[in-house]
Structure 1
């Protein structure tokens, strides 16, 4: 059985290296008769798009199929690495050791390339440092790696509003950039619920060997009606008029919510949206100053009037 697996690997490599190779040449390369090659090709066709378009055309793979990289999961790599210890070496063909080494070398090379790519990506992504820290370690690399490999992370996290530091195990699901910061959304084992974590508040991040499954978690459903990143528990519908000076910029805002926008004859824009965190939305509106007028709800409009009056008094 092992020699057949090795032969199919060799056939795959030969077809990739020589598209259009004949069955006779494959038999010569594998040192078997042509009937064996035909049987192996039948097996290969069950797992790969191998084709022979007619006499004299030979074998090739359709589309962009390519064996390399192997893309082993950690569990698959572990199982394959244990193979030599669970088979009778006396019954193995001479080429087993070299074929095994090539497969494992390919896996480790790809893993190294993936880690190197993650390092390069995280070097490119530059984040600010909180004012209270002299320097802030970049934990994006282990977090991205853990997300890709679906591994739980062991962390030390500081919760700012409680001024509390805790050890937490987190299943990292998604990274979300918001307001010049990165946030991690994942399952917190401590709270036994989905939580949002600000990356700059991690004080340590280690990848564990424990794998996780996101199940039916849906990021779009989770962030439904969330204006920025903090989910609230009460939906509020806003109606805002933006002046013609900023209307075109409002249209290109990248949002999780789906606002209703209507152009006005004077170039202004009526913007309606339902959000679950009133405070986040108002803070965003204030960025536009007099170019944004809250029309509804009336209660928020009145509250903002009072706040603006206090500001005027402050600067008198």
Structure 2
């Protein structure tokens, strides 16, 4: 089958079978999955927009609303990130403020919104406050590059500082998702150096450069499954899941039960109002940091290894305070 014929067939298949996958397209076209990836890139280059949703397959972008003037890369970034990165204060000097306003001016007329909606949208973006850490100019630059790479679906070359090893490394990363957790932004993507999907904190990027290499989310990657057993967002590479069992006093039990978790912990009520909390997670260090905030109202029961670690920490604190009395 000639390339032109295959491109036409792929377009028809995606149009009629929303969510069709690359292996299914390869079978229908009598070609390889790798060729399908190349063909999707060719379709994009000739103006046929195909949306890739990883394991959910491909979708043809149809009936797209035409806007009077196409958004530039900065305006796309502003629309996606301004409410988050403005930290609720949105100063006039904010990097994305003007781009956010011009993007709205282009889009709203085509959607037939009243002119007053522009001022309302800007007003609301200023009044919705999201607790984040301060965003530096360097992080804004990294954010722009990473967001642009996601929009263009291209690999990035970067220098990344690993806090765990306290060292910088040169990496090639296929960007998958940007995820906010605990006041920070993280990039989840395929690292060509480690040959696996890893999590990177955006504030730790030192340099970011876009390449011309197209990339796609692997079809067997499920973002919800990836995040489901992470406590917080980060874990050490190759860290195995650990099951924790914690006792919480009646004074804090209701707060523990009220809190939302990415995992599905097992909570058992005791007659005295205390609870037993059991959960299996990756990210031991982050879990223990969460546990420590409850002080005397929490007791780590299992695993024994980390129970001894907490006991040693308590003994060290006791000795330190005794020495200063």
Q: Provide the TM-score with structure 2 as the length reference.
A: 0.58
- Counterpart in 1 of 2:224? 220
- Counterpart in 1 of 2:46? 79
Counterpart secondary structure, 2:190: strand
Counterpart secondary structure, 1:315: helix
Relative contact order: is structure 1 or structure 2 higher (C-alpha 8 Å, sep ≥ 6)? 2
* Structure 2 residue 128 is the aligned partner of structure 1 residue 124: no
Cα deviation per residue 1:82-113 (whole Å; 9 max; x = unaligned)? Answer: xxxxxxxxxxxxxxxxxxxxx9x849615565
For this pair of structures, how many residues does the alignment match? 222
2: distance between equivalents of 1:115 and 1:297?
44
Instruction: Tell me by how many angstroms 1:287 deviates.
Output: 1.0
Contact 1:119-1:141 at 8 Å conserved across structures: no
Q: How does 1:8-23 map to 2 (within 5 A)?
A: none
- Counterpart in 2 of 1:43? none
2: distance between equivalents of 1:207 and 1:76?
21
Instruction: Tell me by how many angstroms 1:218 deviates.
Output: 1.5
Cα deviation per residue 1:34-59 (whole Å; 9 max; x = unaligned)? Answer: xxxxxxxxxxxx99xxxxxxxxxxxx
* Structure 2 residue 112 is the aligned partner of structure 1 residue 109: no
C-alpha change, 1:223 and 1:244, in structure 2 (3 Å) is same
Query: Residue 167 of structure 2 is aligned with which of 164, 167, 178?
Result: 164
- Counterpart in 2 of 1:294? 300
C-alpha change, 1:265 and 1:149, in structure 2 (3 Å) is farther
Contact 2:139-2:202 at 8 Å conserved across structures: no
More displaced 10-residue stretch of structure 1: 274-283 or 108-117:
108-117
| Larger-Rg structure | 1
- Counterpart in 2 of 1:230? 235
2: distance between equivalents of 1:292 and 1:254?
18
Counterpart secondary structure, 1:247: helix
Counterpart secondary structure, 1:311: helix
Q: How does 1:34-183 map to 2 (within 5 A)?
A: 76=43, 78-80=45-47, 106=67, 109-110=70-71, 114-118=76-80, 120-121=82-83, 123-125=85-87, 127-128=132-133, 136-138=138-140, 139-183=142-186
* Structure 2 residue 255 is the aligned partner of structure 1 residue 249: yes
1: distance between equivalents of 2:83 and 2:157?
22
Q: Provide the TM-score with structure 1 as the length reference.
A: 0.59
- Counterpart in 1 of 2:206? 203
Return 5+ residue gaps in structure 1 as ranges.
1-45, 48-72, 82-102
Instruction: Tell me by how many angstroms 1:282 deviates.
Output: 1.8
2: distance between equivalents of 1:170 and 1:150?
11
2: distance between equivalents of 1:190 and 1:108?
40
Aligned CA RMSD, in angstroms, stands at: 3.4
1: distance between equivalents of 2:44 and 2:308?
63
- Counterpart in 2 of 1:271? 277
1: distance between equivalents of 2:84 and 2:149?
14
2: distance between equivalents of 1:107 and 1:195?
39
Instruction: Tell me by how many angstroms 1:263 deviates.
Output: 2.6
Return 5+ residue gaps in structure 2 as ranges.
1-14, 17-39, 49-63, 88-130
2: distance between equivalents of 1:307 and 1:296?
16
Counterpart secondary structure, 2:251: coil
2: distance between equivalents of 1:119 and 1:305?
43
Cα deviation per residue 1:197-256 (whole Å; 9 max; x = unaligned)? Answer: 111111122333432111221223334432222155333322111122222322343433
C-alpha change, 1:223 and 1:137, in structure 2 (3 Å) is closer
Contact 1:129-1:200 at 8 Å conserved across structures: no
Contact 1:260-1:272 at 8 Å conserved across structures: yes
Contact 1:129-1:136 at 8 Å conserved across structures: no
Instruction: Tell me by how many angstroms 1:147 deviates.
Output: 2.6
